[in-house]
Chain A
Amino acid sequence: MSNNKDSIRTPLGHARGLGSSKEGTHHWWMQRVSSVALVPLSLYWLTCLPEMTTGTYAHFISWVGSPAVSILAILFIITSFYHAALGLQVIIEDYITGEGMKLSLLMLNKFTFIALAASCIFAILHISFSLHTYEAP
């Protein structure tokens, strides 16, 4: 450990414990944290399947636009898309060997999921804040 005379790691580097990639176990840990959050969140969405699949537009809008469902939808979008981006990152790092291609795909991965999440959250808020215009005959 820190008393190891053969170690070339500085005492500060050892105390930080972030390793050569400089982020330590942050990625691994956030993958776990998001997965724990997704257990109740995704179970909630399973119970909503009958609501979601009735197929009538007015029903779907008034259901998804209600405050509780909108908030849970946004929480689910943020958590699941974050979890997905973390997972895809590992797949890219494992299988893409060219540095240029790897770096490009890692960026594209982040941009895509942030854009998708922003689109979903905008859509949910738009429906929720203008329910009266959707429900007008």
Chain B
Amino acid sequence: MTNSSRPLSPHLQVYRWQVTMLLSILHRMTGFGLAAGAVLVAWGLLAAASGAEAFMTFHNFTASPVGRLMLLGWAWAFAFHFLNGIRHLVWDTGRGLTIKQAANSAWFVLILSAIATLGIWCLANCEGN
């Protein structure tokens, strides 16, 4: 930007953190993380199409500690983005837009996303083996 003498709006650090702004940025961050997960999905499917050996390489990665940690991150990112996405869709109908309602639904989404992550983790680990 060439015009540096223009007034700037106060930047993030002068605001007191509120749960609604936390969820706003988390929605974008989880969306970014899930988009990056597209690479893993493509790897898994191409490996499966290539043969048992390639599939085992993929499987060994997802079963490694790093892979497990990434999958846990994706499980939460999915749960959060899914639930907060529904919160956004409700807003789009014009409902739940007061400050109190938005803060309440924010806490609701945060807590439910933690519970849902546990549920996803159990579904992927308890019954599968």
Contact = CB atoms under 8 A, between A and B. Distances in A.
A8 B30 CA distance: 41
Contacts, number: 87
A50 B121 CA distance: 10
Interface of A is mostly: helix
B67 interface: no
A106 interface: no
Interface in B46-60: 46, 48-49, 52, 55-56, 59
B128 A39 contact: no
Contact of B45 (A49, A57, A85, A119): A119
A91 interface: yes
Query: What's the interface size class on B, roughly?
Result: 20 to 34
Given A61-B48, A91-B28, A50 B123 contact: yes
A88 interface: yes
B124 A53 contact: yes
Given A35-B89, A49-B124, A55 B35 contact: no
B82 A42 contact: yes
A24 interface: no
Given A51-B128, A123-B48, 10 more contacts: A50-B128, A52-B124, A53-B128, A55-B128, A55-B129, A64-B45, A84-B34, A85-B35, A88-B35, A116-B39
Interface of A: 32, 35-36, 38-39, 42, 46-47, 49-55, 57, 60-61, 64, 77, 80-81, 84-85, 87-88, 91, 97, 113, 116, 119-120, 122-124, 126-127
18 contacts: A35-B89, A42-B82, A50-B128, A51-B128, A52-B124, A52-B128, A54-B128, A54-B129, A55-B59, A55-B128, A57-B55, A77-B41, A84-B35, A97-B1, A116-B42, A119-B42, A123-B45, A124-B49
Interface of B: 1, 28, 31-32, 34-35, 38-39, 41-42, 45-46, 48-49, 52, 55-56, 59, 63, 78, 82, 85-86, 88-89, 92, 120, 123-125, 127-129
